[in-house]
Amino acid sequence: MTTNFQESQERADLRTAVAALGAKYGHDYYLKQARSGGKTNELWDEAGRLGYLGVSVPEEFGGGGGGIGDLAAVCEELAAAGTPLLLMVVSPAICATVIARFGTGEQKQQWLPGFAGGEVRMSFAITEPDAGSNSHRITTTAAHDGDGWVLNGRKVYISGVDEADAVLVVSRMADAKTGKLKPALFIVPTGTPGFEYRQIDMDMVSADKQFGLFLDDVKLPREALVGSEDAAIAQLFAGLNPERIMGASFSCGIARYALDKGVAYAKERNVWGTPIGAHQGLAHPLAQIKIELELAKLMTQKAAALYDSGDDFGSGEAANMAKYAAAEAAIRAVDQSVQVHGGNGLASEYGLGTLLSAVRLGRIAPVSREMVLNFVGQHSLGLPKSY
C-alpha cells in the first residue's frame, strides 16, 4: 500500500496558474480596494471566468468537476499572492457544495452554473447574537406559510451580504412527527421583502464586509428549502467541513505571503554588516514558522482528501485540526514578519500591519480555537465533555 504526499500535476498546474493571476493584481491592489471601501470584483470576476472559482462545481453544470482540495488550492494561492478572497470560504465552498450535494434538481439548475463561472455569490448565515459557538441555540425559525415558508430571526457577522445574490440561512423548524425543532437550510435572495442587512464596523482592513441580518416575516416559496426537510444535519456537515478546510487554506496562504515577505526582508536588510537574517534570533522563528506552515498545509490536504473521498465524518477531525494549525501558523507568520521589518513592519507602505487583525480572524472563525480544542479533547481523546 502506498500513501502519496504529492499533489497531482493537474493540481500543481492549477496552483501555478492561480498564483500568476494573484500576482497580476497583487497586495497593493487588494489594500487599495480594502482601504477605500472598494471591492475586489475585477479579480473575482477574472478568477470566475478562468474557471478557478468553479473548480469544484460538477462538470454537468459547467464547473471543473474537481474537489474541495482543488478549491482550497485556489484559495491558498490567491491569499499567498496577497489577494485573499474571503468570500471563497463561503460562496463556492459551503453554498455551492451544499446545493450540489443536497439541492433539488431545480436548485442545481438555478444556481450551480452561476457558481461555476463566479457570477453567483452566496453568503452563509449561521451565527446569531445569542448563539455563536453554540449553534444548537439558534432561534431563527421557519414556519409553514400556505404552500411556502415564513422566516424570522437575526444573524450577525455574516460576510459579503452586500455582494451576494442570496444568503444560505441556517434556521430551525418544527419536526412534523415529534414537534421538536430541527435545523433547516433556506436560500434567501437578498432582495426578498422583510430581509434587511446592516454593516458592522470592524477593525479589520478587508474588501469583504460583515453584516447583521434582520429577517422579519420573510416569505419564501416552497422551493427555497434546500433539499428535503430531513436532510439538514447532513447538509450542515457537508458544508461546515469545506468551510474549515477553506479557512485553513486561507490562513495558509496569508502565512505564506507574510513568511515570504519576512524572509526577503531578512536577506536584504543589513544593519551590522551582515543581513539581519544571519541573526538566529530572526532566522529560527522564521524556520519554525516554515515548519508549522508545512504541517498545517499537510493536514489541510489530508482533510480535503478525506472529504473528497466521501468521508464526511472522518474529514471533520482533520478539518478542525487543519483550521487550528493554519490559523496559529498565520498569526505567528504575520507577527514575526512585522518584527523582522522593525519599524517598517507597521508602516502602511509595507502592507503587513493590516494583516495582524486579518489573521486573528482565523483563530475565531468559522469555529474558534477553543471549540476546536473542545472537539479534539472530546472526540479525538475521549475526554469528558466540558461544557
Ligand X SMILES: Cc1cc2nc3c(=O)[nH]c(=O)nc-3n(C[C@H](O)[C@H](O)[C@H](O)COP(=O)(O)OP(=O)(O)OC[C@H]3O[C@@H](n4cnc5c(N)ncnc54)[C@H](O)[C@@H]3O)c2cc1C
Closest contact distance (angstroms) between CB of 90 and ligand X is 5
Q: Which of 159, 190, 320, 354 binds ligand X (CB under 6 A)?
A: 159
Q: What is the torsional sign of CA 85, 90, 95, 96? A: positive
Maximum CA pair distance of the chain? 79
Ranges within 86-105 binding ligand X (CB under 6 A)? 90
Minimum CB separation of residue 225 from ligand X in Å reads: 19
Out of 102, 111, 115, 157, which residue is the one contacting ligand X (CB under 6 A)? 157
Residue 359 binds ligand X (CB under 6 A): no
How many Å apart are CA 373 and CA 294, to the nearest integer?
21
Q: Which stretch binds ligand X (CB under 6 A): 42-50, 281-289, 338-346, 368-376?
A: 368-376
Task: Give CA–CA dist 126/51, Å, rounded.
Answer: 28
State CA 105 to chain mean position distance.
26
CB of 14 to ligand X, least distance (A): 25
Q: Which residue in the set 126, 188, 218, 340 belongs to the binding site for ligand X (CB under 6 A)?
A: 126
The least CB distance from residue 124 to ligand X, in Å, is: 5
Select the residue interacting with ligand X from 53, 57, 78, 158 (CB under 6 A). Answer: 158
Residue 213 C-beta: closest distance to ligand X, Å: 9
* Using rule CB under 6 A, residue 187 touches ligand X: no
Q: Is 124 in the site for ligand X (CB under 6 A)?
A: yes
Using alpha carbons, select from 298, 265, 257, 256 the residue that is nearest to residue 283. Answer: 265
Size of the site for ligand X (CB under 6 A): 22
Integer Rg of the chain from CA: 21
Task: Give the shortest CB-44-to-ligand X separation in angstroms.
Answer: 16
Cβ 136 vs Cβ 170: under 8 Å: no
Near ligand X by CB under 6 A: residue from 57, 72, 98, 125 = 125
| Residue in 91, 97, 210, 336 binding ligand X, rule: CB under 6 A | 210
Residue carrying C-alpha cell 450535494: 101
Q: Which residue among 171, 336, 354, 374 contacts ligand X (CB under 6 A)? A: 374
Tell which residue, 284, 287, 283, has the closest CA to residue 267. Answer: 283
Q: Are 188 and 175 in contact (CB under 8 A)?
A: no
Give the shortest CB-126-to-ligand X separation in angstroms: 4
Residue closer to ligand X by CB (options 21, 327) is 327
Continuous segment of H or E residues that includes residue 195: strand 195-200
Task: Mark 8-47 with x for binding to ligand X (rule: CB under 6 A) and - for no binding.
Answer: ----------------------------------------
Q: Is the dihedral of CA 239, 243, 244, 246 positive or negative?
A: positive
Query: Can you tell me which residue has the cell 536584504?
Result: 268
Report if residue 132 touches ligand X, rule: CB under 6 A.
yes
List, in sequence order, the alpha helices (H) in 220-352: 232-268, 280-308, 312-340
Residues paired with 213 in a beta bridge: 155, 197
List contacts with ligand X (CB under 6 A): 90, 123-127, 132-133, 157-159, 210, 361, 364-368, 370-371, 374, 387
